[in-house]
Amino acid sequence: MNADPQKRLLVLGATGAVGTLLRQVWSIDPPEHTQVIWQARTAQPGMIPFRPGAATDVFGKVDTVLSLWGGPTDLPANRTLAIEAQRIGAETGADRVLHASSIAAYLPQTGALREEDPLGNSNAYGMAKTEMEQAVQVAPGPRRCCLRLGSVAGAESLARALVEDNLIRLDQFASGHGPLRSYIAPADLAKVVLGLAHLPLNDLPQALNVGATEPIRMEALLAAANRAFHWSPAPETARETAVLDTSLLQSLVPLAPNSSDPAAIVADLHRLGVM
């Protein structure tokens, strides 16, 4: 990351799973050259209360907006909140908005998914993220980049099982293995966000896959966490492979080779007190 002047980064949806992880990372390792502004819908310590549609002067001048709000619980809100993030960016003077999308937006395939591959997953969440991306590309406001996130460690189902469940069951496919996914540790995601906030604007792509350098088997993460599990036959509808090609990310914000090491990811979660 360039040692450029102080930037102001506004995080919308700071109380969600990913926002909470970023707050934990930056409470331990405060970001350089960046002041982070956290938004919540209600008054909370260290956060600015703001509801969609309200006046944006509460935020002051902003350089980058990170839009994390929206998710699987209220699918139509993914589109409307993304457009709202564009409005907030425009009114606060931001030159870019980073929108949290998902690998779920892609049409499924067995190989590594590239940014130019077609969107339009048939499941409801994937379609909601596809519609969100389509909406922001034509919405007014600053330059936009849709972050197609894989599995953010600590914010997905396996992490919840590690914390909550005594007995973990993992789908086993005909290969003898469990699911293969593109994970990213919270500290690496924080690095990506900061790198994109400071990236020259002309280098910012419209869409970017976000994951570690290599995909990871879920059983490898469980082994690194020293957690026992039981295999269950994978249902016919389950996907063994859902992975991202992250070569573009590596050219813009390079992650360390051990970013896909299960032990390093588990160590990051321990450091943050997630598990």
Q: pLDDT tens-digit profile of 118-167?
A: 998 889 999 999 999 999 999 999 999 999 999 999 998 887 777 776 68
Best CA proximity match to 187, nearest among 29, 16, 7, 3? 29
Residue carrying the six token digits 């002309």: 202
- The pLDDT score that the predictor gives to residue 165 is 63
Query: Taking residues 72-79, what's their average pLDDT?
Result: 90
Per the prediction, the chain carries an average pLDDT of 94
CA distance 85 to 231: 42
CA distance 62 to 206: 20
Whole-model pTM? Answer: 0.95
| Span 39-62, pLDDT tens digits | 999 999 999 999 999 999 999 999
Judged against a pLDDT cut of 90, whether residue 73 lies above it is answered with: no
- The pLDDT score that the predictor gives to residue 159 is 78
Residue 74 neighbours by CB under 8 Å, 6+ apart: none
Triad 15, 42, 191: Cα angle to 5°: 25
- The pLDDT score that the predictor gives to residue 4 is 61
Residue 3 neighbours by CB under 8 Å, 6+ apart: 32, 33
Q: Are 11 and 37 in contact (CB under 8 A)?
A: yes
Classify strands 241-242 and 169-172 as parallel, antiparallel or unpaired.
unpaired
Query: Taking residues 245-273, what's their average pLDDT?
Result: 96
Judged against a pLDDT cut of 80, whether residue 1 lies above it is answered with: no
Query: Taking residues 263-272, what's their average pLDDT?
Result: 95
pLDDT bin (cut points 50, 70, 90) of residue 70 is: confident
Q: Are 249 and 259 in contact (CB under 8 A)?
A: no
- The pLDDT score that the predictor gives to residue 160 is 75
| Span 193-231, pLDDT tens digits | 999 999 999 999 999 999 999 999 999 999 999 999 999
Judged against a pLDDT cut of 90, whether residue 110 lies above it is answered with: no
